[in-house]
Structure 1
Amino acid sequence: MRPILLLAPLLILASCSQVSNPFRRDAPPAPAAPAAAIGQSAAKPAESFDLTSEAERQRAMATTPDPGAEPLGEAVVTLGNAAEPGFWLRSSLVKSLRKGRVEVNGQSVAVDLLPGAGSAQLSLAAYRALELPLTALPQVSVYGN
């Protein structure tokens, strides 16, 4: 008698899959992939998101350290919003919008310094100009003009 009592809950559970549920919604079918996209990566290279011109890049990289520049401090930066164009740094080191410079690994780039909170963010264009890997979290020196 006991084996039957132990099997009863299993039989009840097994029969539940056969009962229709009026509240369950079936997932919509997945859209079919175009034939040309099969086997191709949908990822876009970082260059396609960087909308700065070569002239802007040259101007930003041509900055020379200004002896009168105010050192604001150092910050570990993350990659900022890739859809936001230009050369900029958003950081809590900055209290108001101003021009400045960021240095790392012996290279520097002119940036717009933007006030921010939390972790510092550096623009995609600045990351690329400084030849930083996009997944890197470099420590940069920040100077205000």
Structure 2
Amino acid sequence: MRYGIFLTSVLAVLASCAQIEPQAQAPEVKPETAEAVRPKSRPNGLNTQVTAPPSTARTVDQFDTTSSAEKAQAVEVAAQDAGGSATLGRTVASLGSPADPGFWLETPLVDDVQMGRVVYLANGQAVAVELRPIEGPKTAGSRLSLPAMRVIEAPLTGLPELEVFTEN
């Protein structure tokens, strides 16, 4: 008896579904090409042009398109700024998008794009970066670019604590 009531209920639901008219389909969305999605070459404030990694990039070395000269310049600029910069605070950073080239830190510690530097507190290594604002409280975490993480010798899968400075 119970199975008969259950079976009748299931059949009634299925019959009512058959009477529902299909909804109009959503318009077809064309996927963007890989070139349209990838960041374009742009100045990063360090007198260099950053180049987007190739669409076939799979390894750290393939994603990190900065040259050793560009890395050395980012370290040199950070050392020069050490005397004339103001501290914005400390943040814990994760690895940002490896497809976004250049030296940058996305952080809620700034309200507009500006140049600055970060110091990895575990070893004292510093690098000049473009500071990019993101939403969130000042105590929220940040995202650091792949080349910057490599220059300061922070573990790519870690959460390094950074001191953030802005140029005056």
TM range (shorter): 0.5 to 0.7
Displacement of 1:91 after TM fit?
0.2
Root-mean-square deviation (Å): 1.5
Moved over 4 A (4+): none
Match of residue 130 from structure 2: 112
Asked whether 1:132 is paired with 2:150, we answer: no
Pick from 63, 74, 99 the counterpart of residue 83 of structure 1.
99
TM-score (norm 1): 0.67
Partner residue of 2:75 out of 46, 49, 61: 61
1:52 is displaced (CA, Å) by 1.0
Q: Which of 55, 63, 68 pairs up with 1:49? A: 63
* Identical pairs, percent: 45
Unpaired runs of at least 5, structure 1: 1-42
Q: CA deviation at 1:139?
A: 0.7
Q: Counterpart of 1:33?
A: none
Task: Give the paired residue count.
Answer: 103
Which of 129, 142, 145 does residue 164 from structure 2 map onto? 142
Larger Rg over CA atoms: 1
Unmatched segments (≥5 aa) in structure 2: 1-56
Query: What secondary structure, in the 3-state scheme, does the structure 1 residue paired with 2:111 have?
Result: coil
Compute the displacement of 1:55 (Å).
1.6
